[in-house]
């Protein structure tokens, strides 16, 4: 079990790469839309090849595969716009709090399970939900005192929209797991839909402008794309999923997501304090702690 906990913990640390890259692009006015476009295209191609080699297209009827593909494609579309909004928010406000607000969108699949799939709303999980909502409110109200620009909280609308988009992403991404005939589709196959949806959103929303400007990337953009491809492959296939499998053997699979996301939120908050020199007020810190505790409680079954 210790090996499983360690792998999930390391996956949470690795997930911080995405937040750091968004923050880096926002601070240096690099086009993160382009990063996402190339990232989704490359990951969709990798997932397609791996899924074909694994025989995933022959393992289920075509209508089941299409159903799962459409659901995960919608998740990918929402995920693209999540980081469009997150990049705008991070260009204006405290990156650590924004990242915590964004990650709190994990409540989406929890609410979907209760409202549409009759999951038991245990008291401890409802308490976790309320803590997350209260934490977001506190973080939004907190001032970091760094600049008047931040004190105006002009970053908050984009951060809250990214939170809602993460909730939508989690709903569409986990929907196949709630439907028995879709639950057997592989994570590799679902990844194709996720990355295709993201690339489709980029093609409609950003690509025409990039073509008009003849702007398709730079050395920095492609370096960031390479880092994020490595992050997704390492985190998913070498750390998180193997860690979840080991935890499940000890009947502790439910610990995977709260540990991973908790480490991700806490790790990025530490990064923002040490490297970005952000100052968090007591109100903002209380909100961050409430979100971390809420993430753990909402994942307990």
- The model's pLDDT over 9-31, given as tens digits with 9 standing for 90+, comes to 998 899 999 999 999 999 999 99
Torsion on CA atoms 184, 76, 248, 10, rounded to nearest 10? 150
Reply yes or no on whether the pLDDT at 176 is more than 60: yes
Most confident residue range from 77-86, 111-120, 263-272: 77-86
CA distances from 231 to 35, 239, 241, 245, 295 (A): 14, 10, 14, 20, 23
CA distances from 52 to 1, 74, 100, 188, 192 (A): 32, 22, 36, 10, 11
Q: What is the pLDDT of residue 154?
A: 85
DSSP code at position 236: I
Least confident of 13-17, 60-64, 177-181: 177-181
Reply yes or no on whether the pLDDT at 148 is more than 70: no
Q: How far is CA 172 from the centre of its chain?
A: 13
Decide: pTM greater than 0.85.
yes
Look at residue 223 and give its three-state secondary structure: helix
Q: What is the pLDDT of residue 253?
A: 58
Q: What is the pLDDT of residue 146?
A: 45
Q: What is the DSSP string of 10-57?
A: HHHHHHHHHHHHHHHHHHTT--HHHHHHHHHHHHHHHHHHHHHHHTGG
Q: What percent of the chain has pLDDT over 70?
A: 93
Q: What percent of the chain has pLDDT over 90?
A: 47
Gyration radius from the chain CA atoms: 19
């Amino acid at each position: 079990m210790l090996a499983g906990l360690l792998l999930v913990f390391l996956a949470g640390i690795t997930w911080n790469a995405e937040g750091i890259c968004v923050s880096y692009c926002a601070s240096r006015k690099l086009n993160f839309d382009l990063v996402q476009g190339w990232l989704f295209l490359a990951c969709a191609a990798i997932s397609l090849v791996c899924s074909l080699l694994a025989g995933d297209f022959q393992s289920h009827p075509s209508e089941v595969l299409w159903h799962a593909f459409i659901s995960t494609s919608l998740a990918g579309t929402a995920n693209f716009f999540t980081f469009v909004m997150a990049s705008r928010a991070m260009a204006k406000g405290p990156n650590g709090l924004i990242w915590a607000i964004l990650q709190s969108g994990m409540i989406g699949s929890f609410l979907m399970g209760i409202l549409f799939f009759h999951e038991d709303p245990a008291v401890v999980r409802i308490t976790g939900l309320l803590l997350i909502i209260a934490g977001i409110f506190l973080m939004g109200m907190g001032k970091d005192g760094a600049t008047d620009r931040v004190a105006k909280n002009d970053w908050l609308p984009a951060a809250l929209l990214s939170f809602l988009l993460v909730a939508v992403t989690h709903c569409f991404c986990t929907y196949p797991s709630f439907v028995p005939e879709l639950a057997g589709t592989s994570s590799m196959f679902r990844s194709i839909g996720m990355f295709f949806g993201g690339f489709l959103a980029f093609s409609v929303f950003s690509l025409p402008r990039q073509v008009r400007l003849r702007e398709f990337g730079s050395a920095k953009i492609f370096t960031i794309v390479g880092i994020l491809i490595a992050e997704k492959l390492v985190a998913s296939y070498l750390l998180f999923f193997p860690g979840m499998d080991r935890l499940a053997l000890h009947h502790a699979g439910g610990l995977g997501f709260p540990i991973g996301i908790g480490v991700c939120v806490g790790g990025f908050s530490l990064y923002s304090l040490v490297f970005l020199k952000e100052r968090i007020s007591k109100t903002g810190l209380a909100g961050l702690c409430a979100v971390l505790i809420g993430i753990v409680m909402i994942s307990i079954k």
